[in-house]
Amino acid sequence: MSAHANTGTVLDRILEARRASVEHRKKVLPETALKYGAKAATPLRDFAAALSRDGLNIIAELKPASPSRGVLRDPFDAPALARSLESTGAAALSILTEEEFFRGSLRNLREARKSIALPVLRKDFIFDPWQVWETRANDADSFLLIVATLGDATLRDLIALGRELGMEPLVEVHTRAELDRALTADARILGVNNRDLKTLSVRAGTSFELVDQIPDHCIAVSESGLRSHEDLLRLRDAGFDAFLIGEHLMLAPDPAAALANLLGPAPQGQAL
């Protein structure tokens, strides 16, 4: 199922825990029940269109904690954060749903999405079709696929299932080889993560090195380590359509003000 080899990294521990959690939840909630829930889910919002507007399209990420930084926000009020980031100009939201390492939850996703009109990405470690059905049943509009954790056949199948359900996934890569695999699998929204998932170190140069290899028909998203309006302008000039930003916002005393600073002045029309 996975192209990932266990080498004792943080990513290995997360995936091991996630697989155990999914196997348990599949016994409690069979896929047939999730398929019924998916049919009853709220109408989809267009995630791809939100990332294709003119200007600086920021996917603002809500996460209570991370393996690299520990607790980021406590208390954590997902609906209030979602409303404030939407009103400031976020293009979409990303909601962490992994419980053990990120302290996320599907409840946060449902409650945040209910409080806003933006499309919402489910950020998790997804490797099983059951999780894709679970994603739609919980009202998400898109979901993350990490190429480093998936075999080629599984990657293709999960992308295809997402499209069958109306969800175009964000397919995340870290290297040229992973980008080639994502393109072979017909990924259309490509995220370049500047964070090395094995060491958790961040290197912004990764985005600049890979963006020229992303075809024009794809949506290019730069992820991690973005902290200033100037960072986003440079990346937009290099060819990126959108930017996923989490820790910078979650660590700020006022996440909405931090988002406004990232967006900068007109034409976005945001206050500094």
In this prediction, residue 183 has a pLDDT band, given cuts at 50, 70 and 90, of very high
Residue 93 CA, chain-centre distance (Å), reads 8
Q: Does some domain include residue 66?
A: yes
Q: Does some domain include residue 29?
A: yes
Mean pLDDT of 192-201: 80
**pLDDT (tens digit, 9 = 90+) per residue, 233-267?**
999 999 999 999 999 999 999 999 999 999 998 55
Residue 211 region, left (φ>0) first, then alpha (ψ -120 to 50), else beta? Answer: alpha
Q: Does some domain include residue 270?
A: no
| Statement: residue 22 has pLDDT above 60 | yes
Q: Does some domain include residue 2?
A: no
Residue 199 neighbours by CB under 8 Å, 6+ apart? 9
In this prediction, residue 196 has a pLDDT band, given cuts at 50, 70 and 90, of confident
Number of structural domains (the chain) is: 1
What separation in angstroms does the CA of 210 have from each of 27, 177, 220?
Answer: 41, 10, 10
**pLDDT (tens digit, 9 = 90+) per residue, 79-120?**
999 999 999 999 999 999 999 999 999 999 999 999 999 999
| Rounded distance between C-alpha atoms, residue 92 and residue 119, angstroms | 5
**pLDDT (tens digit, 9 = 90+) per residue, 114-148?**
999 999 999 999 999 999 999 999 999 999 999 99
Q: Give me the domain span that covers residue 191.
A: 10-263
| Statement: residue 204 has pLDDT above 80 | no
Residue 153 is predicted with a pLDDT of 98
| Statement: residue 188 has pLDDT above 80 | yes
Residue 272 is predicted with a pLDDT of 38
Residue 270 is predicted with a pLDDT of 41
| Rounded distance between C-alpha atoms, residue 139 and residue 116, angstroms | 12
**pLDDT (tens digit, 9 = 90+) per residue, 213-226?**
999 999 999 998 89
Prior bond of 64 cis (ω within 30°)? no
Annotated catalytic residues are 61, 63, 123, 172, 193, 223-224
| Statement: residue 7 has pLDDT above 80 | no
Mean pLDDT of 157-176: 97
Mean pLDDT of 204-215: 93
Rounded to two decimals, what is the model's pTM?
0.93
Q: Does some domain include residue 146?
A: yes
Percentage of the chain surpassing pLDDT 70? 94
Q: Does some domain include residue 5?
A: no
Q: Does some domain include residue 4?
A: no
Residue 46 region, left (φ>0) first, then alpha (ψ -120 to 50), else beta? Answer: beta
Q: Does some domain include residue 1?
A: no
In this prediction, residue 197 has a pLDDT band, given cuts at 50, 70 and 90, of confident
CATH number at residue 76: 3.20.20.70
Give yes or no for a contact between 167 and 143, defined as CB atoms under 8 angstroms apart.
yes
